Structure 1
Amino acid sequence: GPVLSGLKNLIAKKLSEEEEEQKVKVVAKKERQL
């Protein structure tokens, strides 16, 4: 139903945001080492 698909979208969005944060942290670490 619409509630389930909305929940899936929220979870997918949260996961992608967490992945972006991880990428930012990794890039920040690399830049500090340079």
Structure 2
Amino acid sequence: YIARLRRKIDTPGREPLIDTVRGHGYRLKAPS
């Protein structure tokens, strides 16, 4: 599922991405 997360990072969607990251418990470098 890591590849899927990386794909989401590439896609223009910072807000939903952060939500998904929080759900998984991972902290990625995302502009707040």
Q: Structure 1 length as normaliser, TM-score?
A: 0.37
Of structures 1 and 2, the larger Rg is shown by: 1
The structure in which a higher percent of residues are helix is 1
